[in-house]
Amino acid sequence: MMTRLYSSTVLGVDGVEVEVEVDFRPMAEKRTFIVGLPDTAVKESGQRVDTAIQNSGLPFQQGVFVVNLAPADLRKQGPGFDLPIALGMVAGASETDIDASSWCIVGELALDGAVRPVQGLLPQIMEARRMGRKRIMLPSANAHEGAPVQDVEIYPVSSLREAWKLLTSTTLPPPFTGSGKEEQKPGEKEASVDFDEIKGQSYARRAMEIAAAGGHNILLSGSPGSGKSMLAQRLPTILPPLSREESLETSKIHSVCGLLKRGSGLVTRRPFRAPHHTISDAGLMGGGTNIIPGEVSLAHNGVLFLDELPEFRRAALETLRQPLESGQAVISRASGTMTFPCRFMLVAAMNPCPCGYLGDRRRACTCSPAQIARYRRKISGPLLDRFDLLMEVPAVDPSLLTSAPSGECSASIRERVMAARRLQRNRYAGTSFANNAALSGKALQKYCRLQPESRAILLSAVEELALSARAYDRILKVARTIADLEGSPEIQDSHLYEAVQYRAFEHSLRQ
């Protein structure tokens, strides 16, 4: 007797439907064959499933089980096929004819028959909906992960016996109705940090506002304790909220990596990722034996913060150049090629020299010119070109340390940022551009037009600072954002002068 069920697996950050065929032939000995390019975890499911069925008290008899996972040319990974395989084996052993065409079934089994949670369920549920499966059977611990997907019915199960009863029932219970959103406790602040906690640093705060308004990459340089990390950590608090589409995109990636919070099916706040400088290339970009997303993808629609930028391995930093331009991380291995989305804002921080006190008014720098040059050369010119703003962050005046913070709060800054983003959204409606930072080619010339006098100012600055053609474009984008913050339809000379100032620091870094 043959039983057909439907499950799914993850390929990159997308779900792929898998057809689970279970054929049973009664014989004197018990044997199980699993075919269809399974990995080790799937091959081992035979032993887990046999024991789980018997410990659950479900029908079981000796014979040969042949399990085929189709399509046969797609490698099957992970223990999520345990539950559909077990249900197919029970159906065959009990000679029960079941119709599972409307179900997508995913779950790992414990030896006692308990259903354990699995990673990557959100993209699998979205694929199941696309393939016309209206009902999703999944582990109870993953119930909220399926709630955000509309037009499907979620049925959480906690045991194999419960799953069998559900699959063979003529009357289904009500589906799961949780929101899938992380609920905010009464009185809880939206974020644990705020821009009003930063003392002084008015110029740096202005630069962060411009970066947020246009989606620009920014490099902060300053002595230890000047507030670079504080500024970076508070950047997400002034960014616009995630749209539903952005939330689903981000949640898919976090689901695949098993990072969704228990009881929450959606990432509702923009990610902030801050990997340590010892991170490997695969950890930063993605990879591994079973290719998974890296930090650049986990920061998708959010912020990637690289503190102590020159301490990162140069090879790892150079891998950032392609995703910063394309918004995609392409990972090629012998097993195949995966493409992960990674549209993020890059915020980096560095000291001006190895000891950190070059230019500090209170402490003397102990580095030689050769040490300073060697330290700064760790950041290549092409990588520097991919920052839109380069900002020196001076040490905080000691007199400000005992005073109450007097700066604007994040909510106030965010209002201006959102107003600028609305201008950009309306301006680029019908195009592939989401913000000023994404402009390129002819679109840059179309939306960032300059008067002849302004063009002469910019060309003079580029020549004096020995900037590249890419830096020229970056200045134009930043000037466009400054104009948007002021609600100006045209780029004025004042906007251009300010944008150039955020590039002047590059000259000293290249020396």
Q: Are 150 and 225 in a shared domain? A: no
Q: Is residue 78 part of a domain?
A: yes
Encode burial over 238-253: b for 16+ CB neighbours within 10 A, e otherwise: bbbebeeebbbbbbbb
**Structural domain harbouring 294:** 195-433
Distances (CA, A) of 473 to 337, 448, 462: 32, 9, 10
Q: Are 221 and 263 in a shared domain? A: yes
Q: Is residue 351 part of a domain?
A: yes
pLDDT at 185 over 60: no
11-16 mean pLDDT: 92
Whether cis (ω within 30° of 0) applies to the bond prior to 156 is no
Q: Are 128 and 253 in a shared domain? A: no
Q: Is residue 460 part of a domain?
A: no
Q: Are 279 and 412 in a shared domain? A: yes
pLDDT at 179 over 80: no
> Given 149, 168, 187, which residue is the final one in a domain?
168
Q: Are 31 and 162 in a shared domain? A: yes
Q: Are 127 and 219 in a shared domain? A: no
Pairing of strands 115-116, 108-109: antiparallel
393-415 mean pLDDT: 83
pLDDT at 128: 95
Q: Are 139 and 228 in a shared domain? A: no
Q: Are 351 and 291 in a shared domain? A: yes
Q: Are 376 and 414 in a shared domain? A: yes
Q: Is residue 181 part of a domain?
A: no
Could you give the number of structural domains in the chain? 2
CATH code assigned at 106: 3.30.230.10
The DSSP line for 300-316 is TTSEEEESSGGGS-HHH
Which residue in this structure is represented by tokens 């989606």? 215
Which residue in this structure is represented by tokens 């694929």? 127
Residues in contact with 333: Cβ distance below 8 Å, sequence separation at least 6, in sequence order: 287, 291
Q: Are 318 and 362 in a shared domain? A: yes
> Given 168, 187, 211, which residue is the final one in a domain?
168
pLDDT at 351 over 70: yes
Q: Degrees (nearest 5) of the Cα angle 191, 306, 510?
A: 135
Q: Is residue 120 part of a domain?
A: yes
> Given 120, 149, 168, which residue is the final one in a domain?
168
How far apart are alpha carbons 69 and 34 in whole angstroms?
A: 8
Distances (CA, A) of 213 to 229, 349, 389, 411, 477: 19, 20, 13, 14, 11
Q: Are 247 and 355 in a shared domain? A: yes
Give residue-wise pLDDT tens across range 41-100: 899 898 999 999 999 999 888 889 999 999 999 989 889 999 999 999 999 999 999 999
Q: Are 273 and 160 in a shared domain? A: no
Give residue-wise pLDDT tens across range 291-347: 899 999 999 999 999 999 999 999 999 999 999 999 999 998 877 788 999 999 999
DSSP-assigned letter for residue 267: -
CATH code assigned at 386: 3.40.50.300
Straight-line distance from the first to the last Cα atom of the chain, in angstroms, rounded to the nearest whole number: 76
pLDDT at 508 over 80: no
Q: Is the dihedral of CA 372, 376, 381, 386 positive or negative?
A: negative
Task: Note if the pTM is more than 0.85.
Answer: yes
Give residue-wise pLDDT tens across range 219-241: 999 999 899 999 999 999 999 99
Q: Is residue 456 part of a domain?
A: no
469-478 mean pLDDT: 94
Q: Is residue 365 part of a domain?
A: yes
Give residue-wise pLDDT tens across range 262-287: 777 789 999 999 999 999 999 999 98
pLDDT band with cut points at 50, 70 and 90 for residue 147: confident
Residues in contact with 228: Cβ distance below 8 Å, sequence separation at least 6, in sequence order: 220, 221, 222, 307, 349, 393
Give residue-wise pLDDT tens across range 367-391: 999 999 999 989 998 999 999 999 9
pLDDT at 28 over 90: no
Q: What is the three-state SS of 191-206?
A: CCCCHHHCCCCHHHHH
pLDDT band with cut points at 50, 70 and 90 for residue 30: confident
pLDDT at 287: 86
